[in-house]
Amino acid sequence: MLKWLIRRQLAAFERKFDFNADYLRDILDADLGALRAINKTAAIAQYQRDIPVVAWAAAGITATMHEDCGPCTQLGVTLAKERGVDPTVLRAIVSGDEKAMSDDARLAYRFAKATLAHDAVADDFRAMVESRWGKRAVVALAFAVAAGRIYPTVKYALGHGKACSRITVDGTVLSPVGSLVA
């Protein structure tokens, strides 16, 4: 009965966000406890303390694009827009156009890129984040970067990963920065 209810919830999520959740069904089929475990990562993914939503979204979307999962990136963009992030800034994040990003988005984008590259300059960006918003904001961005990697990695490991090729932001179709598709 519980699995039936979860399948209905997954179907509703798919309809609402035009997102294929087959990987979650595979996890559910394998072990309900495993699905509960991955659902716990949502608490990390949703932690947004003392940070503007645009910065939090920029870090998460940047990390997801780094993992090269188009459907996950599209979902992140859709959720960010739903939370009020300006589509112009979302387009800038997806295309890597730092000049078109807001200051908050640019700082989070740079922090995420440096963190993902294990670049020492991440320390400078971390200090800027802490100075601007505080220690909880650093944690929020760290969690956004980590969460942005979890779902694509699980999807690829389960055979459901799809590379980033085209991302739609408010009706505009873009090739994400770093994408092999021109």
In this predicted model, what pLDDT tens digit does every residue of 62-97 receive, in sequence order? Answer: 999 999 888 899 999 999 999 999 999 999 999 999
Sign of CA dihedral 53, 54, 56, 62: positive
With respect to residue 130, please indicate whether it lies within any of the assigned structural domains.
Answer: yes
In this predicted model, what pLDDT tens digit does every residue of 19-69 receive, in sequence order? Answer: 999 999 999 999 999 999 999 998 999 999 999 999 999 999 999 999 988
Domain holding 40: CATH number? 1.20.1290.10
Give pTM, 2 decimals.
Answer: 0.90
Find tokens 């940070």 and name the residue.
Answer: 51
Of the CA atoms within 13 Å of residue 137, those in its CB half-sphere come to: 22
With respect to residue 182, please indicate whether it lies within any of the assigned structural domains.
Answer: no
Q: What residue numbers bound the domain in which 34 lies? A: 2-174
Based on the structure, what is the number of domains in the chain?
Answer: 1
Per DSSP (E only), the strands in the chain are: 167-169, 172-174
Cα(142)–Cα(133) distance, rounded to whole angstroms?
A: 14
With respect to residue 181, please indicate whether it lies within any of the assigned structural domains.
Answer: no
With respect to residue 180, please indicate whether it lies within any of the assigned structural domains.
Answer: no
